[in-house]
Amino acid sequence: MKLKNITLSLALALGIVGLPVAAQAPAQATAKSLDELLEQVRTADARDAKANAEREARFAAAREQQRSLLAEANAEKTALENQAAALAKQFEDNDRLIGELTQARDIKAGNLGELFGVMRQTAGDFATVARNSMLTAQFPDRVAQIDRLAQTKTMPPMEDLNRFWFEMQREMTEGGKVVRIQAKVTAPDGSQADKTVLRVGPFVAVSDGQFLEYTTGANAFSTPPKQPPSKFGGIAEDFEEEGSGYHAMVVDPTRGVLLNLFSQRPDMVQRIVEGESVNWLILAIGLIGTIIAIYQFGYLTLTSTKVNRQLANLNNLSTDNPLGRVLLAFKGGNAPSSNEDSEVIELRVSEAVLKELPPLERGQSFLKLGVAAGPLLGLVGTVVGMIHTFQVITESGSGDPKLMAAGISMAMIATLLGLGIAIPLLFANSALQSRSKRLIQILDEQSTGLLAELIEKRRA
């Protein structure tokens, strides 16, 4: 029993010691006797010794390899440290050289820094001018170049400076030319079309007899919904059709501002419509007076011609003129009897003359009425306009003159229309009175002469 226990303890010890071997050779057979167990232990020790020897050999080889790599790394480190030192020295030398060159450049540059600032400011100002100029529609690439020059942070090369000078010179040169260019034109309805545009310097542009507006940023033109007065459009159309030579043309020095203001001005019809019913009443009176004056002037002219012809031939009286009818009333079968009183004859002569007066003085009373009523109706329109102005002031205050301009314009146009019909009607009435008085004077002279002749014959 004691031997068996010793054997078991030895076996356990060998098992514990042989764990690594068992881990490496798990398929080893279990010993059946002590001799086999001893043989296995001997074999395991030999195998372990061989494995350890191989491991030590590998470790030794790896150590030599690591030593070689370490030597190479140290050599490379030394080379890099030498290169870094050389580069650091070169950097210091370059930095010192840069400082020296910068100082020399600043000494030689003098006032170029101030000149560079002025150049940038000038380029920025000119970029704004070029962007708003209609010449950009013909030269669209120049704005980007000028903007780049205005925003640069360093001194630009001479090529950019020369280009900047060239663009400024071209702006002045092309500003004095009248040229035809192809450009996009936007219609009031939004449609675009390529048209031939006649550009008069940087001031105005016309196409098909219409003034165009330059659209900033789009490098294109647009047709405004409302054109300037027709007299301007006629000048532009004639100028566009002419081929060469000197011709009259509308030029806007503000590059479209004044033409736009002219386009926004209401015409006479619009001003009359704004004046409501008073203006139409004034125009109606003026129109009626004008028709009466023209008709009566023609009638008096024709009657004066016939009376003059009758004066030249009093022996052959005619009924187509007042003088002939007055004289025929006392000659021939209409002659007064010998026993007729002179006062009665005089009354008959006056009656004959008075019959001819209404056609000769026809319409003059209405013309006098129009002369008097025109300014009064204009005053009524003025009062209506001022009421409108005061209403606007009550609603929105008096801070914006544009709000009051409509009422003041209404007041002034009524006054203008009233005076506009009164003054012509006054001259027309004066002219008609002058002609009618001349004819009435002829009738009075001839009738008085006829009366004197009749009285003399009776006394004889």
Residue of 268 and 311 predicted with greater confidence: 311
Residue pLDDT, tens place only, 258-275: 777 777 776 677 777 776
The answer, yes or no, to whether residue 189 has pLDDT greater than 50, is yes
Kindly report whether the global pTM for this prediction surpasses the value 0.95.
Answer: no
Contact 292, 427 (CB under 8 A): no
Report if residue 76 sits inside a domain.
Answer: yes
- Mean pLDDT over residues 234-260, rounded? 75
pLDDT of residue 342: 67
Instruction: Check whether residue 334 and residue 206 sit in a common domain.
Output: no
- What would the pLDDT profile of 11-42 be if each residue is shown by its tens digit? 444 443 443 433 344 444 566 777 777 777 77
Q: Are residues 213 and 338 in the same domain?
A: no
* pLDDT higher than threshold 70 for residue 185: yes
Give phi and psi for 186, each to the nearest 5.
-95, 125
The per-residue pLDDT of the chain, averaged, comes to: 79
Domain for residue 224, yes or no? yes
Q: How many whole angstroms separate alpha carbon 425 and alpha carbon 419?
A: 10
Structure tokens at 18: 């042989």
CA pair distance 96, 99, nearest whole angstrom: 5
DSSP 31: P
CA-CA distance, 392 to 378, in Å (whole number)? 21
**422, 318: one domain:** yes
| pLDDT top residue among 229 and 169 | 169
Residue 382 burial by CB count (10 A; 0-12/13-18/19+): exposed, middle or buried? buried
The residue that leads in pLDDT, 244 or 431, is 431
Rg (CA), the chain: 60
Whether residues 324 and 417 share a domain: the answer is yes
Per-residue pLDDT at 410 exceeds 70: yes
**Residue type for position 357:** L
**Interatomic CA distance for residues 392 and 106, integer angstroms:** 67
Domain membership of residue 267 (yes or no) is: no
The amino acid at 212: L
Yes or no: say if 327 and 314 are a contact pair by the CB < 8 Å rule: yes
Q: Is 289 in the same domain as 419?
A: yes
Q: Which residues pair with 199 in a beta bridge?
A: 179, 205
8 pLDDT above the threshold of 50: no
Domain identity same for 406 and 362 = yes
Q: What is the pLDDT of residue 151?
A: 81
Number of domains in the chain: 3
Which run of H or of E encompasses 181?
A: strand 178-186
Read off the pLDDT of residues 45-85 as tens digits, 9 standing for 90 and up.
788 888 888 888 888 777 878 888 888 888 899 999 999 99
pLDDT band at residue 399 using 50, 70 and 90 as cut-offs? low
Residue 254 falls inside a structural domain: yes
CA distance 239 to 249: 6
> Per residue in 375-384, pLDDT tens?
888 888 888 8
Q: Among 170, 244, 168, 236, which Cα is nearest to 204's?
A: 236
Q: What spatial distance separates the first Cα and last Cα of the chain, rounded to whole Å?
A: 217
Q: Are residue 255 and residue 356 in the same domain, yes or no?
A: no
Instruction: Specify if 339 maps to a domain.
Output: yes
Residue 9 pLDDT > 60, yes or no? Answer: no
Give the separation between CA 252 and CA 204, rounded to whole angstroms. Answer: 6
The token duo for 63 is 């150590």
Same domain, 378 and 244: no
At residue 363, what are phi and psi to the nearest 5 degrees?
Answer: 85, -15
Residue 266 lies in a domain: no
Of 6 and 195, the structure prediction assigns the larger pLDDT to: 195
Q: Are residues 283 and 421 in the same domain?
A: yes
Choose one of 213, 237, 260: the last residue of a domain: 260
Task: Select from 441, 415, 210 the least CA-distant residue to 304.
Answer: 441
Token digits for 134?
């209609």
Sheet arrangement for strand 192-200: 210-211, 204-207, 192-200, 178-186, 220-222, 213-215
Residue 129 lies in a domain: no
Last residue of a domain, one of 85, 112, 143: 85
In the chain, the amino acid numbered 51 is A
Cα–Cα distance, 401 to 452 (Å, whole number) = 74
Q: How far is Cα 449 from Cα 454, in angstroms, rounded to an integer?
A: 9
Q: Write down the pLDDT at residue 18.
A: 42
**Are the beta carbons of 31 and 7 closer than 8 angstroms?**
no
Q: Are both 441 and 308 inside the same structural domain?
A: yes
CA distance 235 to 209: 9
The answer to whether residues 400 and 312 belong to one domain is: yes
Is the per-residue pLDDT at 100 higher than 80? yes
- What is the Cα–Cα distance from 416 to 6, expressed in whole angstroms? 148
Of 260, 295, 329, the last residue of a domain is 260
Closest of 293, 423, 416 to residue 365, by C-alpha: 293
Same domain, 66 and 206: no
Is the per-residue pLDDT at 226 higher than 90? no
Residue 374: give the domain boundaries: 274-459
Assigned domain for 232 exists: yes
